[in-house]
Amino acid sequence: MKSKLIILVMIITLLSACSNTNQRDEILLNKYESAYEKLASHDNFEILSDYYQIELVVSEVESGSHRIDLILDEPQVAMYNIEMMMEVNPTGSQQYDEVLSSLGIVDDLTYNLIPNQVNADNGFYEGLVLSSVSDQVKGEVKVLITWTNYSSTQNFEEFIVLSYDNDLKDPQATEDNSEVDDNDE
């Protein structure tokens, strides 16, 4: 009888844990979808921020695609509980067949940026990076960035749009060719 009771308690505990995991996954999915909806439906974007530096670095990868790295660093204010999502070459509506790069939305980590303070073990970073891949040489990236102040009494939300052009012409080679042409005349 005692062993049946122990087994029953173990089964209930296991079922409870599975139920909590499913609820947590559903909450995170809803949070992701909500952020995506905000980003897709927003129509007033800035190109820079007073609170941090933001830039794109684009490089060609072996497959001929282009890796797009969004770098957020040099915070001007203390930024806590940062959440970011970026969409490359947005269509203006949600694309359910693609997963957008995000940070702090569905992962279990906390991201904070504070001027001149770094302690990655405790969630304080020098900068944050989101990456994606695109087949297009030129395009734009739309970004949603949210954070709170230290006491979580103020929420901040910014929408940024950045353009990229990874036209891989070598400016030095073009310059060298123009010099040769001048000498031929």
pLDDT, tens digit (0-9, with 9 covering 90-100), for 105-161:
988 789 999 999 999 999 999 999 999 998 888 999 999 999 999 999 999 999 999
Output the pTM of the full model.
Answer: 0.76
Asked if the structure places residue 181 within a domain, the reply is no
User: Residue 53: in which H helix or E strand, if any?
Assistant: strand 53-60
**CATH code, domain carrying 74:** 2.60.40.1470
pLDDT, tens digit (0-9, with 9 covering 90-100), for 168-182:
544 443 344 444 444
Asked if the structure places residue 75 within a domain, the reply is yes
- Give the chain's end-to-end CA distance (angstroms, integer): 103
Q: What is the pLDDT of residue 18?
A: 47
pLDDT, tens digit (0-9, with 9 covering 90-100), for 24-78:
778 888 888 889 999 988 989 999 999 999 999 999 888 888 999 999 999 999 9
Q: Is the pLDDT of residue 79 over 50?
A: yes
Asked if the structure places residue 173 within a domain, the reply is no
Specify the range with the lowest mean pLDDT, choosing from 1-5, 75-79, 89-93.
1-5
Asked if the structure places residue 28 within a domain, the reply is no
Q: What is the pLDDT of residue 185?
A: 42
Total structural domains in the chain?
1
Q: Which structural domain range is residue 55 located in?
A: 45-168
Asked if the structure places residue 138 within a domain, the reply is yes
pLDDT, tens digit (0-9, with 9 covering 90-100), for 11-24:
555 444 445 667 77
DSSP 120-169: GGGTB-SEEEEEEEES-SEEEEEEEEEEE-TTS--EEEEEEEEEEE----
Asked if the structure places residue 36 within a domain, the reply is no
Asked if the structure places residue 115 within a domain, the reply is yes
Asked if the structure places residue 22 within a domain, the reply is no
